[in-house]
Amino acid sequence: MALIVQKYGGTSMGSVERIEHVARKVASWRQQGHEVVVVVSAMSGETDRLLKLAKSIDPRGNPREFDQIAATGEQVTIGLLALALEKIGVKSRSYTGWQVPIHTDGAYMKARIQKIDAGRLMADCKSGIVPVVAGFQGLSPDGSVTTLGRGGSDTTGVALAAALKADECQIYTDVDGVYTTDPRVEPKARRLDKVTFEEMLELASLGSKVLQIRSVEFAGKYKVPLRVLSTFVEGPGTLITLEENQMEEPLISGIAFNRDEAQITMTGVPDRPGIAAAILGPIGDANIEVDMIVQNVGGDGHTDFTFTVHRNDYERALEIMRRIAGELGAKGVRGATDIVKVSLVGVGMRSHAGVASKMFKSLAAAGINIRMISTSEIKISVVVDEMYLELAVRTLHKAFGLEEQKAA
Ligand code: ADP
Ligand code: ASP
Ligand code: MG
């Protein structure tokens, strides 16, 4: 008998029929003698709908109220699933984040879980009750409802698994595992039997939305065995593993992409010590995160400075740059939102040279211009025009031999 935390995503909770299907799955794990704690997302599309409603009143409104509104999506699905479980004879009780409670910091819309009081959930498990917990939400130190950022139910699932010392955390979604790339963009993508935490962390942080990055961080930190599986088809899914087998590691495990970036360039900045800090300081002060940074080699005492930010922060970042351009003696400021970042990830890169040049050659052969490049030990990212996203992903998927191996 094991204690298992199961998280069901938005598509899995997308209708009453699907919720009843989830209830039957949970019931079958119970019948096999396992203790189960369930975490659920809102019905697919619901969080978008709620946030749109909030923005229709004031797009820059108080984030506390955005969270109050967004968190209601999960309050509906916990109740529905608990009803569906009871209907088929499984004792169940639903919990919002604050009823558990799941304590977070006070950073609305991107709160971090600080502590979980798992006592009530443990007691339920011991009495044969299946607790159904709302994902994505928590309670701030001042008693307000917070949310954990988009896709945050994954993190609720893993954090609960850590707090309950569960034997496994299962993330049930609409794909049957982690693929070499998003199967919606490359239908030839292949399911991975396993992927290392380190790679999954990179894939998630570089844009693969199959797992929220913080859920992977949590799983790595607390050594929670984590598996991604389909709600709709049976299968082994993908295990996120701590072990690395250097001999067997493929060069590239996956390709991630991120459509959420925007690029800003300050042209003709005086090439002097402290200029990068002078440009990025005000951006940091405005709480805007910077991703990639490129400073050109200067000529005639001037240089161009380019960086990327989240598209949601683009207008604000551009405003700041225009404001300080004069003070810094820059020639001008320009920006672009029609860009994407495409990244290759693989622990095998550590021991192999030539990945970058192969990547650049393949993209060039496909006629794709690279705007920016950044590398680290196990990843290479490039920024390209958004219209080339699909072509870039498919070109690289093929060039690095990631397709499904067809039986001869
Ligand atoms: P849920 O609502 O269950 O949390 P998400 O939409 O958040 O589901 O995540 C699942 C989706 O992630 C898939 O439908 C797929 O399009 C996308 N995805 C992106 N990259 C990958 C990848 N490497 N492997 C599998 N799915 C991926
Ligand atoms: N419902 C939230 C969202 O859409 C959280 C989640 O689904 O994980 O982002
Ligand atoms: Mg998700």
Report how far ligand 2's centroid is from the alpha carbon of 172 (Å). Answer: 13
C-alpha torsion sign, points 121, 122, 125, 126: negative
CA distances from 199 to 107, 133, 178, 213 (A): 27, 29, 11, 11
Chain centre distance of CA 184: 16
H or E stretch at 81: helix 72-87
List residues near ligand 2 (CB under 6 A): 9-10, 41-42, 47, 73, 135-136, 150-154
Res 71 pLDDT > 90? yes
> From the CA atom positions of the chain, what is the Rg in Å?
23
Q: Which letter does DSSP use for residue 15 in this model?
A: S
Q: Which residues line ligand 1 (CB under 6 A)?
A: 9-12, 41, 151, 173-175, 178-179, 181-182, 184, 208-210, 254
Residue 68: pLDDT band (50, 70, 90) is very high
Q: Are 316 and 288 in contact (CB under 8 A)?
A: yes
The DSSP secondary structure of 253-289, one letter per residue, reads -EEEEES-EEEEEEEEEE--TTHHHHHHHHHHHTTPP
Mean pLDDT of 158-179: 97
- The secondary structure of 321-387 as a DSSP string is HHHHHHHHT-SEEEEESSEEEEEEE-GGGGG-S-HHHHHHHHHHHTTPPP-EEEEETTEEEEEEEGG
**pTM reported for the whole predicted model:** 0.93
Amino acid identity at 32: Q
Per-residue pLDDT, 383: 97
Task: Answer yes or no: is pLDDT of 201 > 70.
Answer: yes
Structure tokens at 17: 């029929």
Which of 44, 173, 206 has most ligand 1 atoms within 8 Å of its beta carbon, as the pocket-test mutant?
A: 173
Neighbours of ion ligand 3 (CB under 5 A): 9, 151
Residue 6 — φ and ψ, nearest 5°? -115, 130
pLDDT in tens, 233-260: 999 999 998 876 655 667 899 999 999 9
Q: Residue of the nearest CA to atom 11 in ligand 1?
A: 210
